[in-house]
Chain A
Amino acid sequence: MRNVMAIAQKEIKAYFDSPIAYVFIGFFALLFGYFFVALLSAFTTQSMQMMMQGGGSMNVNQQLISPLFLNTSVIILFVLPSITMRTYAEEKRSGTIELLLTSPLTDVEIILGKFFGAMTLYAALLAVTLIHIGTLFIFGKPEIWPVVTSYLGLLLMGGCFVSLGLLISSLTKNQIVAAMVTFAVFLLLWVIDWISQFTGPTTQQVLMYVSITQHLDDFTRGVLDTKHLVYYASFIGFGLFLTTRSVDSERWRG
């Protein structure tokens, strides 16, 4: 555990010592802010209209927060590849991987350390959005539970992307290649969502189960379903497992 912590700390330091972390956080805050403002103004216009027509007020959670978080998953799609790209690729390029692999560490410790390091930066990104969501609580009365489950869902979904990103980074020496491939794979997993809408019912079920983002839906609506938890947990576990295999096979090849 101490080893995992040491690696994770090193990763976090590496993010925050260089401008990367700040660039990502800034970029993320900007995009999220844009979505926030756009959705909020649409929401206010709509609820004004409804009030004028004498209808009841709209539900902040369902009409604003849920779509906002679903849109966030798209921003994450763009940002996470650049966070995970360097994890292994850069160590291999600069030769520091020799330090890690000749230290008394197991592969699992190294991989978990890197996983938690990337997850910490990702959590820091999400933390930025607490400001926006916080204002909603100041000016309105949204339910808190769906917000909590949304964040949990986003964390888990990000975990899947991070474990996949680690795997891809472990396959190359080149950060840029790692980022491009990771992004392409993420995009593919995301596109499955739409494709599923144009297929037959059975295929649709299968595709929807495979899609990472589909599982986020229930989380944003305050539903904690074990089906989704199991899906995310096994996705993360499998990704990390494949990364250990990739690092190990690299060893044998030399």
Chain B
Amino acid sequence: MIEVQHLSKRYGPVTAVNDVSFRVEKGEILGFLGPNGAGKTSTMRVLTGYMPPTEGTAIVAGYDVLEQPLEAKRRTGYLPETPPLYPDMRVRDYLTFVAKIKGVPRNQVKARVDVTMEKTRVADMARRQCGALSKGYRQRVGLAQALLHDPDVLILDEPTAGLDPKQIIETRQLIKELAGSHTIILSTHILPEVSQTCQRVVIINKGRVVAVDTPDNLTAKLRGSEAMYVQVDAQGADATQVIQQVPGVMSVRSADGQGGLEVASEAGRDIRRGLAAAVVTRGWGLLELRPMRMSLEEVFLQLTTDDTAAAAPAGEDLHA
């Protein structure tokens, strides 16, 4: 349904998107995950025909966005980062206007506006001016605007940004309901969003794709080699060498620069017994031994940050 090949976007000297390729199948929800400035918005703006790519091609709903922009746009709904509302217009008037310019047939405009307002739960605000809406409603009217012409493809740029937790849950629910009949790309810099809504994730950083997989696989892959945090009182000897010999251990490296070691092992193999025995038989002290679990947050951080930024706190809102 969406095919992006070797897409690049440069703003003068700034490369915002660098050789990005990915596919989205029909009915799929793809999460587009990356910190601020990763190039999510730029990619989406190319996909929606807002601006042309510097290099590469994008095919949306069967049409090249450069070659046949009108055909592609007819089949695409887009919610930009800030919902594109006219503050002086009333919600119903606004949606009617959008329906017209999206090419909804004249005799279906009213029905489509009604159905969409119902679906996005903005019907009770129909007569309110867009500028007087709360953030949550603004976002929903933005979503309604993207859905009006029942597009094959939906491109949502940070659809839950700035919403309160209740609104976030509602919006996610709505997006899930839309999958199936629509192919959806949604961008976010918040992790739980992806694991809860998306079937597949493209992680992007500094304009490059760093990983493409399902949320489960991504965590599993990085956890594939189980990691242990080990702290040993080796009385001056080199513990790394010894631990390396323990059956099942794949690699040992310093975890924190204070004597702690990160010991990676083959998946599904418990090395704790062997490791403890090796340490104790040498008369060393085993100060700490605990599994290092990587949450999706850490996966994300590991993939997207370089060493200098690795100390950045991982949290619900990484780059707010």
Interface, chain A (partner B; CB < 8 A): 2-3, 6-7, 9-10, 13-14, 17-18, 94-106, 251-254
Contacts and interface: CB of A to CB of B under 8 A. Distances in A.
Contacts of B87: 94
A253 B11 contact: yes
B116 to A, nearest CB: 15
A7 B97 CA distance: 8
Given A96-B86, A98-B78, A105 B52 contact: no
Contacts of A252: 51-52
B205 interface: no
B9 A254 contact: yes
Contacts of A100: 101
A138 to B, nearest CB: 39
Contact of A102 (B52, B73, B88, B97): B73
Contacts of A7: 101
A173 B37 CA distance: 22
- Interface SS majority for chain A: helix
Contacts of B122: none
Contact of A104 (B52, B81, B88, B103): B103
B18 to A, nearest CB: 15
Interface in B20-52: 42, 45, 48-52
A105 B49 CA distance: 11
| Leading 10 A-B pairs by shortest Cβ distance | A99-B84, A6-B100, A102-B48, A104-B73, A96-B84, A98-B80, A104-B74, A103-B101, A104-B70, A17-B88
B73 A10 contact: no
B89 interface: yes
A10 B88 CA distance: 11
Contacts of A9: 97
A47 B12 CA distance: 68
Interface in B38-95: 42, 45, 48-52, 70-71, 73-74, 76, 78, 80-82, 84-89, 93
Interface size class of B (residues with CB under 8 A): 20 to 34
A254 B51 contact: yes
Given A102-B48, A102-B76, A104-B103, 9 more contacts: A6-B101, A14-B89, A17-B89, A98-B78, A98-B84, A99-B80, A103-B102, A104-B101, A106-B70
A23 to B, nearest CB: 14
A2 B70 CA distance: 15
Nearest to B75: A104
Contacts of A17: 88-89
Contacts of B9: 254
Contact of A95 (B49, B76, B80, B89): B80
Nearest to A101: B50
A251 B86 contact: no
A104 B74 CA distance: 6
B11 A254 contact: yes
A13 B101 contact: no
Contacts of A95: 80-82, 84
Contacts of A18: 88
B134 to A, nearest CB: 18
Nearest to A20: B88
16 contacts: A2-B100, A6-B101, A7-B101, A10-B89, A10-B97, A94-B86, A97-B84, A98-B84, A99-B84, A102-B76, A103-B101, A105-B101, A106-B70, A251-B52, A254-B9, A254-B42
B145 interface: yes
B98 interface: yes
B52 to A, nearest CB: 6
A8 to B, nearest CB: 11
Residue among A3, A97, A99 with the highest chain B CB neighbour number at 10 A: A99
B157 to A, nearest CB: 9
B308 to A, nearest CB: 28
Interface in B132-155: 145
Contacts of A101: 49-50
